[in-house]
Amino acid sequence: MRYIGNKTKLVDFIFLTINENISDISLIDKFYDLFAGTGAVSNHMKTTYNIVANDILRSSFYVNKGLLQNKPNLPENIFSILNELVEEGFIYNNYSETGSDRLYFSEENGKKIDGIRNYLFSQLESNNLSEEQFDYLMYCFINAIHKVSNTTGVYGAYLKKLNGCAKNKLIIEELDIIKTDKSIFVYNKNCIDLLEEINENDIVYIDPPYNARQYNSNYHLLETIVSSVDPKIKIIKGKASVAGLPDNIENSKSSWCSKILIEKEIEKIGKCKSKYVFMSYNNEGLISIEKIGEIFGKYGKVVIKKMTHKKYKSNTNSNKSTVEEVIICRLK
């Protein structure tokens, strides 16, 4: 799944770093993944630890619910039904090739997204789908949308012409799930709100934003699609937002994307009850690795592990093709 900061290629590095710094894995109660994103890290950990996954984006919440929990029994022929649905609704009219000037999706896919979106919410509301079935199907839906979006991976802007993938027909497919006998909890909160629940034998892993680009604007369209309510489009200087941003976008800005506020957020994490705090970051982030180590050092021993990693292709801040990924460990 295309997503800024996706840790799919780094999960082995993260897993090994965490396990080599845990004195006794058998004593661990829960693994808290507070910026879970696409769920890659939690999915890798879920056969070893009880998982608490959290993300402030609603779309990521559904991805984690669908990916991390065991697959539910599904209604017969549900994917055949979903793939036949078409409707000229909010997404078609505002974010598709023919419905508007915003080329996020082809005309056909705009209609299919509206049809599937409205059907899933109507079936949940009428109790024809359980919450577990809805969550899993929403995960499959989001995965299908990513495959046909006319973007470079984020939804802050669209390409001027439909690219090859965006010309393909959206097909929602059943996705495989790794089974687990561990407990799985998934939240859609500000991560700071979960800190009071964390105990000393829990692992805390955070993978916060590395720059000032807000995830709520980068993924605003997915956030709209996974909501049952159509937002008003933001007016900027008397005109509707070119990107189609919702008018409430300013209400969900993250302190982790602010040079002024990020230190205070790291401090809150650093002083939590857990013996084990692990933070993924890189050497081009808003705050230096040294400063993070200084903050964490107030509350325990600091260990820093580094790995060179290929940079996300949409990052154009420098000409470098690689970045130094770092895990800062705070250990009590």
Average pLDDT over residues 49-74: 97
pLDDT digits (tens, 9 = 90+) for 226-241: 999 999 999 999 999 9
Percent of the chain topping pLDDT 70: 94
- Reported confidence tier of residue 4, pLDDT bands at 50, 70, 90: low
- Reported confidence tier of residue 316, pLDDT bands at 50, 70, 90: very low
Q: For residue 143, give the 3-state DSSP assignment.
A: helix
pLDDT at residue 101 greater than cutoff 90: no
Query: Residue 248's pLDDT is what?
Result: 84
- Reported confidence tier of residue 217, pLDDT bands at 50, 70, 90: confident
Query: Residue 214's pLDDT is what?
Result: 77
Residue with tokens 């690689």: 322
pLDDT at residue 72 greater than cutoff 50: yes
Q: Token pair of 328, please?
A: 């800062």
Measuring CA to CA, how many Å separate 295 from each of 54, 162, 195, 280, 307?
A: 23, 46, 17, 15, 22
Average pLDDT over residues 195-212: 94
CA dihedral 212, 61, 45, 34 (to 10 degrees): 40
Domain boundaries defined on the chain: 1-70+184-211+259-332, 76-176+215-252
97 vs 292 pLDDT, higher one? 292
pLDDT digits (tens, 9 = 90+) for 127-162: 999 999 999 999 999 999 999 999 988 898 999 999
Measure the CA–CA gap between 135 and 61, rounded to whole angstroms. 9
Measure the CA–CA gap between 178 and 201, rounded to whole angstroms. 25
Question: Of the given ranges (45-54, 64-73, 277-286, 309-318), which has the lowest mean pLDDT?
Answer: 309-318
Average pLDDT over residues 115-137: 98
- Reported confidence tier of residue 6, pLDDT bands at 50, 70, 90: low
Pinpoint the alpha helices (H) of the chain. Answer: 11-20, 40-45, 58-68, 78-83, 90-95, 107-125, 131-148, 215-218, 220-225, 262-270, 289-296
The CATH number of 1-70+184-211+259-332 is 3.40.50.150
Average pLDDT over residues 285-310: 94
- Could you tell me if 299 and 270 are in contact, meaning their C-beta atoms sit under 8 angstroms apart? yes
Contacts 24+ apart (CB under 8 A), 146-152: 146/1, 146/2, 148/105, 148/106, 148/109, 149/104, 149/105, 150/103, 150/104, 150/105, 150/106, 151/104, 152/313, 152/314
Whole-number mean pLDDT of the chain?
A: 93
Q: What is the reported pTM?
A: 0.93
